[in-house]
Chain A
């Protein structure tokens, strides 16, 4: 099956969070359509359900502190919960 035929459901995304820049406003946690994030003990987002991420990018463009990046992880199989996406960012 080709990647296009698999559609968006087959695609997997990773969430990179820069905790040094995050101020725990909670916008990403509240508005994520798939409830990917939950708050950690500091109120900052923790990707609790990374496999649910559809890559819509809402959190990335609404983060006032530029603290979230969503990257597609094409090599990831659906069964795996998360990937080492930090290494994919490149910069």
Chain B
């Protein structure tokens, strides 16, 4: 049995006035929030050492519920605000929660450059494959051939693989999990927060209200079963052919490399400049 959520919700959440939360029944955002507080408890981080920043969207509500230093930024700009916080106060642990649209569409350029810059941040990207809050328009991660409010005849574009994009752009730690594999998600989040450098954890999450409803997955249970069946562990995927992997996705740690990160390098520059 993993860490208990039971007592943690009293320790880490603003449980006395903000609950039950605003998300739909069965929404994966709640599962990600639970995983996040368990990962933080495992690492033994204090609430005052933490910053949780978020942009706009359903996931943007997450900072409201946690009792850390929190920030609700403009659409797609959560990473830029977080960059400012980390440079001003390097001792803080900065975590960013974004949706797939927030991270890869509106904030797409910030995202790839944050990965390239390798600042010591942890970005959690909740990928529900749609713009859920605004009414189910297709997002950059909506799969080819699926249906959305703005793709009534089937989607003709192809989806961004967020985790692979982050790894290519230079992130230190890249992982993908699902809300079904919640115990594994605890490990991935803890690994990402502990890793110095830019960490990206993509979480495949269910939006049965907007995405599932239009794609024969009407409730949270069906979508969680879908994640259970479609997810393939990284080491098992290595032995599978492209045809077997069609429509499926890998879960686990995709990249974990040690390289100089911006926060430490910048401190070295400051120290050198001070000596001269």
Contact = CB atoms under 8 A, between A and B. Distances in A.
A58 to B, nearest CB: 8
A46 interface: no
A67 B30 CA distance: 11
A62 B31 contact: yes
A23 B25 contact: yes
Given A23-B25, A56-B1, A57-B4, A91 B30 contact: no
Nearest to B13: A66
Contacts of A66: 5, 9, 13, 15, 19, 30, 34
A25 interface: yes
Contact of B26 (A23, A55, A61, A71): A23
Contact of B1 (A26, A57, A63): A57
Interface centre among B5, B182, B224 (most CB of A within 10 A): B5
Interface string B93-113: 000000000000000000000
Chain A: number of interface residues, binned into ranges: 20 to 34
Contact of A31 (B2, B35, B221): B221
Given A26-B219, A27-B221, A65 B30 contact: yes
Contacts of B219: 25-26
Given A64-B23, A69-B5, A91-B7, A26 B30 contact: no
A51 interface: no
Contact of B6 (A21, A27, A60): A60
Contact of A64 (B9, B31, B180): B31
Nearest to B182: A61
Contacts of A31: 221, 224
Contacts of B26: 23, 25-27, 64
B4 A65 contact: no
B158 interface: no
A24 interface: yes
B220 interface: yes
B18 to A, nearest CB: 11
B20 A60 contact: no
B38 interface: yes
Interface of B: 1-2, 4-7, 9-10, 13, 15, 19-21, 23-31, 34-35, 38, 179-180, 182-183, 186, 219-221, 224
Given A20-B20, A23-B25, 20 more contacts: A23-B26, A24-B25, A25-B219, A25-B221, A26-B26, A31-B221, A57-B1, A57-B4, A61-B183, A62-B180, A64-B29, A64-B30, A64-B31, A64-B34, A66-B13, A66-B30, A69-B4, A70-B4, A71-B6, A89-B6
